[in-house]
Amino acid sequence: MAKNDFKSFATAANANVTPQDNWETLPALLSGFTAGKASSAQVNKALRQATFIAAALAQYTANKSGQDVLDNGDVAGFIEKMATAFGRDYQALDATLTALAGLATGANKLPYFTGADTAAQTDLTEFARTLLDDQDATTARKTLGAQPLDDTLTALAGLATGENKLPYFIGVDRAGLADFSKVGRDIAGAGTVEDVIRYLSLGDAAKKNVGTTSGTVAAGDATMGGTYTNVTSSRVMGVTYTNSATRPMLVIYSCDATSFGTAVAAVNGANVARVIGVESSATHNGPSMTFIVPAGATYSITKTAGSLSNMIWAEMV
**pTM of the predicted structure, to 2 decimals:** 0.39
What contacts 24+ positions apart, CB below 8 Å, involve 272-281?
274/304, 275/308, 276/305, 276/306, 277/306
The greatest distance separating any two alpha carbons of the chain, rounded to the nearest whole angstrom, comes to 190
pLDDT tens, residue by residue, 62-80: 999 999 999 999 999 999 9
Q: How far apart are CA 58 and CA 67, in angstroms?
A: 10
- Judge whether residue 32 has pLDDT over 80: yes
Residue 212, helix vs strand vs coil: coil
Instruction: Please give the C-alpha separations between residue 61 and each of 67, 90, 181, 190, 211, in angstroms, as whole numbers.
Output: 8, 13, 89, 90, 109
pLDDT tens, residue by residue, 218-229: 665 556 678 999
> Which residues, 6 or more positions from 45, have their beta carbon under 8 angstroms from its beta carbon?
10, 17, 18, 23
Report all structural domains of the chain as residue ranges with CATH numbers, in order of start.
Answer: 20-89 (no CATH), 94-148 (no CATH), 150-207 (no CATH), 228-316 (2.60.120.40)
Q: pLDDT tier at 205 (50, 70, 90 boundaries)? A: low
Task: Of 18, 74, 58, give the one whose Cα is nearest residue 41.
Answer: 18
Instruction: Please give the C-alpha separations between residue 277 and each of 115, 141, 211, 302, 313, in angstroms, as whole numbers.
Output: 120, 94, 38, 15, 17
